[in-house]
Structure 1
Amino acid sequence: MRTPVVHHALRRRRARRLRALWTGGELLVTVGVVLLLLVVHQLWWTNREARQGAERKVQALEREWGAPEASSSAGGSVSTPAAGSTGVASPSGVRKQGRTAVSGPVRPGPSQAYAVLVIPRLSLRAPVAEDVSKADVLNKGYVGHYPGTAQPGQAGNFALAGHRNTHGEPFRYLNRLRRGDSFTVETRSATYTYVVGQVLPRTSPVDGGVIAPVPRSRVDPSYGYDRPGYYLTLTTCTPEFTSRYRLVVWGVLASARPR
């Protein structure tokens, strides 16, 4: 009778391979769960927390001002100021229509929320804070004001930035704005209504011309304005979930109403 030969070394090698495969599988599952949790945190939790915080800040500002205004007031029809071939409202154009800008002394401190941006088409009400710091402003779901640019209602360019994805993503659907859409900026002293004049679908993150006092893209000079006026610039990242380019929306002051 033939005695079977047991290859113990072969069995040990197979056992080691199985343990290695099992350990590798466990590691992959663990990494997958961690990545899933990170995605949930970024796409859901940060949005939830930032949106709630931003809404509380809007309510706090309105209580502080003492006269909250309904967001629907921003959706009414407005007449566009006198405009030239570039669709720009000059200071004289605003005065001729009896809508002189109400621009009191606005000197917010760093990261201080001091205004509310209302965009009816996007169902958006977001606090505006000084600076564009991610940690102190943008990641809270706020819209940030570029330091050194004009303030609401002032001649020049009131330039703002906001997240398009995560952390409240106030500018998630900024690409839906079209020429002629109106939106407002509410402050302690006045409410300013702007009308969208131009949309720059894509430009470089370092295209500083878009937030200049007379905004004009340095990457594509066919977009922008060529004379002084009362402007508001909205900027965010594009395409979604990247920061490779910037989407820019320009508005022109249409009216100013004291609170």
Structure 2
Amino acid sequence: MRAPGVVHHGTRRRRAAFRRAVWSGAEVLVTVGVVLLLLVAHQLWWTNRQARHSAERKVQALEREWGTPDPEASGTSGVSGSDADATGAGKAGGAGGSGGGESAGRSAGRDSLSGAAADGGRQQPRWSQAYAVLGIPRLSLRVPVAEGVSKANVLNKGYVGHYKGTQQPGRPGNFALAGHRNTHGEPFRYLPRLRRGDTITVETKTAVYTYTVDRTLSQTSARDVGVIRPVPRSTVRPSYGYTRPGYYITLTTCTPEYTSRYRMAVWGKLTSMRPR
């Protein structure tokens, strides 16, 4: 008959220590998991909620500051008939091709757009100042435009930022903007949904400018500064862009979603303006 095994105190202590270590490790893993879930919830839900609320309030504040537009204001000054064809609003042209895009340079100086420079003489907006409202009907979007592309002071508030050194709305050249695609209000999340012919409005204190989407560059390098030059043209994919001066708008954001590795750009051309 075999004698029962003897369990020494040292063995029991080792087993107890092992159980404590396993339990402590499990607690740490659970805690880390909860913290990660909270961080994800903060980034994907809370920052969006806060930024959208901030952006909506700023849009309302700007509208109160500007006052209600007069519906009897003088009629729209813009491009119509042959002019619309010349700016590309009514003429097809692939990305990088000549077509209507090349004609934009010829029509940009016409008298029909001379009033579009009304805001150009006003004082330059202060850094991080919200001074315009960007509207994109297809995306049901109305968002403030602020000077600069600072994350902390502009983009993370849910605003769209104006690239320093690019033109102001309605001026000849390129009015270039940046916005988050994910988190912090994500105003440009659905930018890929824009199609040629969609309208983009930019409202300021004195005028409302309407641009028409013309071309899209679905992906390029984050360092492709050509897309925001006065005559926008990709330096990475030169077949995308323009070759002649005009009145352009550029919307840029990160791509693919939830990354910042690449950029996409949507270009449009000024087709009309009206005073507020």
**TM-score w.r.t. length of structure 2:** 0.86
Matched residues in 2 for 1:242 and 1:217: separation? 21
Q: How does 1:42-121 map to 2 (within 5 A)?
A: 42-67=43-68, 80=84, 82-83=86-87, 85-88=98-101, 90=104, 92-94=106-108, 98-100=112-114, 101-104=116-119, 105-106=121-122, 107-121=124-138
> Which residue is equivalent to 1:190?
207
> Which residue is equivalent to 2:271?
254
Do the aligned partners of residues 69 and 91 (structure 1) sit closer, same or farther apart at CA in structure 2, a change above 3 Å counting?
A: farther
In structure 2, runs of 5+ residues without a counterpart are 72-78, 89-97
Percent same amino acid at aligned positions? 69
Equivalent position amino acid for 2:142 in 1: R
Q: Show CA shifts across 1:230-259 (max 9, x none).
A: 000000000011000001000100101111
Matched residues in 2 for 1:3 and 1:225: separation? 90
Equivalent position amino acid for 1:119 in 2: I
* SS of corresponding position for 1:218: coil
How far off is 1:3 after superposition?
Answer: 5.3
Matched residues in 1 for 2:131 and 2:183: separation? 23
> Which residue is equivalent to 1:144?
161
> Which residue is equivalent to 1:74?
none
How far off is 1:92 after superposition?
Answer: 4.6
How far off is 1:17 after superposition?
Answer: 1.1
> Which residue is equivalent to 2:15?
14
How far off is 1:99 after superposition?
Answer: 3.9
Q: Judge which range, 1-10 or 125-134, deviates more.
A: 1-10
Do the aligned partners of residues 99 and 3 (structure 1) sit closer, same or farther apart at CA in structure 2, a change above 3 Å counting?
A: closer
Q: Show CA shifts across 1:86-137 (max 9, x none).
A: 4335365256583432432241000000000000111100000000000010
How far off is 1:5 after superposition?
Answer: 1.8
Matched residues in 1 for 2:248 and 2:184: separation? 27
Q: Show CA shifts across 1:126-180 (max 9, x none).
A: 0000000000100000000001100000000000000000000000100111111
The number of aligned residues is 252
How far off is 1:82 after superposition?
Answer: 1.2
Q: 8 Å contact 1:103–1:152 — kept in the other structure?
A: no
**TM-score w.r.t. length of structure 1:** 0.91
How far off is 1:193 after superposition?
Answer: 0.4
Q: 8 Å contact 1:91–1:155 — kept in the other structure?
A: no
In structure 1, runs of 5+ residues without a counterpart are 71-77
Q: 8 Å contact 1:82–1:94 — kept in the other structure?
A: no
